Structure 1
Amino acid sequence: MAPPGDPRRLCRLVQEGRLCALQEELQAIGGYQGPAGDTLLHYAARHGRRDILVYLVEAWGMDIEATNRDYKRPLHEAASMGHPDCVRYLLDRGAAVDCLKKADWTPLMMACTRNKLEVIQDLVEHGADPLLKNKDGWNSFHIASREGDPLILQYLLTVCPDVWKTESKIRRTPLHTAAMHGCLEAVKVILQRCQYEPDCKDNCGVTPFMDAIQSGHMDIARLLLEKHKACSWAKDSLGAQALHRAAVTGQDAAIRFLVSDLGIDVNVRATSTHLTALHCAAKEGHTSTVQTLLSIGADINSKDERNRSGIECKPHVCFYIKHRAWRLGV
């Protein structure tokens, strides 16, 4: 450990919760600010050291609204790490509940990344606004949908029934986010309590069903088909379907589901590029996906808008496709 009086030692004492040693050494240095602008209050809040937080505020008069270089305040730190005792203390001392850090994140948004319901409840009960958005257009419900805790989503919808009526700056909804991240229970809550239009699209034309398919979350894809009447052949802004997007990300099970179970044409083309799923998989170098597509009837001679077949898209995949074609006698 650093020698007595060294600021780094003070930070270590806070992290370890050694209040008595901190009291002795703080007399010698009179305060501390770290390389990122963190005060000892930031360290205490981050590590859940309420006793040290109380001591620094009440014995040394440290500012609970002190900001570091990212404009984080101690309340951001306590909320983001899920420390309810520190959050309550700071709120009781009058900390600004909707203060903004860099990128316009509030403590409530930070708390929603931790799935700590009691911290979220404390912030809301002290006036935190779930409708505020960060620089990307995400509100707290959007962030909670990414983490997927159904109890938190239910709570936010109860205290703020309109919180689901939100889109990011690229028009992605919480349903998109939950589907992409595989949060099945969150999707169930959203479908039950929110009124998103089936096949709502973001700026790229991507639907929640496409998000689920291209990320390999088949349980969510099936749920969206059953409960939300999602369209399995909807097209994005480039005219690509879920099948093409699954080929790009190498989701073999999703491809088989779309073609074998839902009857999607394996050779369907994206309307703007004329690419088939085989082209997409070959361009990305997904040899196993190329094998899957060929096994369910993909046409190796299909041409894209540049008159290229799948075998001309990627050298090492080209060899595999040619070999496969030879074996099939094509």
Structure 2
Amino acid sequence: MLSEDKEGKYFETLLVHLTDLNIVSTFHNKQLKYPSYVNKLITFLKGNEEAKILLKQLDAKGFTQVRADYDSNGWSCNTTPLIESASLGYVEIVRFLIETVNCKVDNTDAIGRSPLHKASERGHEHVVQLLLEKGASVLLRNKYGESPLYVACKGNHRVIIDMLLLKKANVLVCTCSDKSPLYAACEGGYYDIAELLLNENADVNQCNKAAESPLYVACVRGYTDIVKLLLDNNADVYQCNKERESPLYAACEGGSQDTVRLLLENGADIFKRNIHGESALYVACLLGYTDIVKLLLHTDIDINLCNNNRESPLYMACVRGYTDIVELLLHKNANVHLCDCAGMSPLDVARAEGHVDIYKLLELKS
């Protein structure tokens, strides 16, 4: 902290910096973590007409601030003191800028982010509450189509989400890539937020531009509790993405045994293949998920269903050297004679890859 005899000169220096459009020393000052310093800074700014005029001008015109916060490549962004203060969570500075300087609560930076957007993204509850009290719009979105509700869901800021929903934030508004707030919650594994959004009539089957549903992304991540929640709310277990990958395929690829079991119990399509012809069983064999293979083999799945290169699940298990999976497939009478497009059989690839144990198992079946 500064000694009293140095404060006046120090604050005058901050004013010079503001005149030069440098706000770092004022609004990114490490001393702002001390309430006593904040009070002294506000008192100084309130009592200086030049400072208030300058801050009002900066709010109206913005200024260029180069920071990693905007772009990792060092690009610049036009921002305002209010946006910066909201972003950093300095609620009393935000109050001063709105009530004394009359800064516009919905002015945005060059990326289209408002003070409310930045505070929601960073989880600054008191700032969000103040901004909403001052009439900040919950509907403004940045250049990527992200609303305050979306970024709050993405950041797992439950209290802020409640505040935004009370102000009628739209749960159906998506980003430019068509990601909904529900999708963000499911992607992050935030069960409570997903449940809240569904109670607010979020569309359980609303997909992004890759045609990935909330159920699909929850399956990819192996969030079984969220998968169950979505299924209980009528999520479409057959809905595939643009690669024709089903939720079951995603769960098998992600390696979540519990999620795969849950999907199978809810009637997932075991015969569905993606654009490469890969089935759920194929990808489980490809990645060596033995327990998932066991689950799938307890269904009526086609054990010999090949991909577009005519590679069967058995073929791929032989390539990767998964002896336990090969044994499971052979026990279910997998066809050992199916060859790929190059005419290579499972026996051929096992020998070529040096998997002696598998080669011996296949020889017994040939």
Matched, 1:43 2:33: no
Q: 3-state SS of the aligned residue for 1:129?
A: coil
Distance (whole Å) between structure 2 residues aligned to residue 124 and residue 45 of structure 1? 27
1:55 Cα deviation after fit: 5.5
Aligned equivalent of 2:254, options 249, 254, 264: 249
The superposition leaves residues 23-64 of structure 1 with CA deviations (integer Å, 9 ceiling, x where unpaired) of: 44566797448xx95432221499445235426634572733
State the structure with more CA Rg.
2
Amino acid at match of 2:212: V
1:180 aligns with 2:211: no
Partner residue, 2:209? 203
Partner in structure 1 of residue 263 of structure 2: 258
Shifted more, 56-65 versus 271-280: the winner is 56-65
Q: Deviations over 1:83-134 (max 9, x none)?
A: 2212111211212212222422111011112333331121122231111111
Please list the CA deviations of residues 295-330 of structure 1 after superposition, one character each: whole Å capped at 9, or x if unmatched: 223576431112123466699x7112x453147645
Equivalent residue runs for 1:82-231 within 5 Å: 82-92=89-99, 93-159=101-167, 161=168, 163-194=170-201, 196-226=202-232, 228-231=233-236
Question: Unpaired segments of 5 or more residues in structure 2?
Answer: 67-76, 332-366
Return the alpha-carbon distance in structure 1 between the equivalents of residues 311 and 85 of structure 2: 56
Aligned-partner Cα distance in 1 for 2:199–2:108: 32
Of the three residues 258, 273, 276, the one matched with 1:273 is 276
Cα RMSD over matched residues? 3.2
The 1:19/1:169 distance shift into structure 2, 3 A limit, reads farther
Change in CA separation of 1:167 and 1:84 when aligned onto 2, cut-off 3 Å: same
Which letter maps to 1:297? L
Match of 2:296 in 1: 297
Say how many residue pairs are matched: 301
The 1:209/1:327 distance shift into structure 2, 3 A limit, reads: closer
Identity of matched residues, %: 21
Task: State the TM-score, normalized to the length of structure 2.
Answer: 0.71
With 56-65 and 111-120 compared, the bigger mean Cα shift is at 56-65
Length-normalised TM-score, structure 1: 0.78
3-state SS, counterpart of residue 104 of structure 1: coil
| Aligned residues of 2:14 and 2:26 also touching (Cα < 8 A) | no
Q: Which residue of 2 aligns with 1:79?
A: 86
What is the letter of the counterpart of residue 24 of structure 2? T
Contact 2:303/2:329, CA 8 A, preserved across alignment: no
Distance 1:327 1:270, change over 3 A: closer
Q: Structure 1 unaligned runs (5+)?
A: 1-16
What's the CA shift for 1:252? 3.1
Instruction: Give the corresponding residue for 2:325.
Output: 324
Structure 1 distance, partners of 2:252, 2:22, is: 46
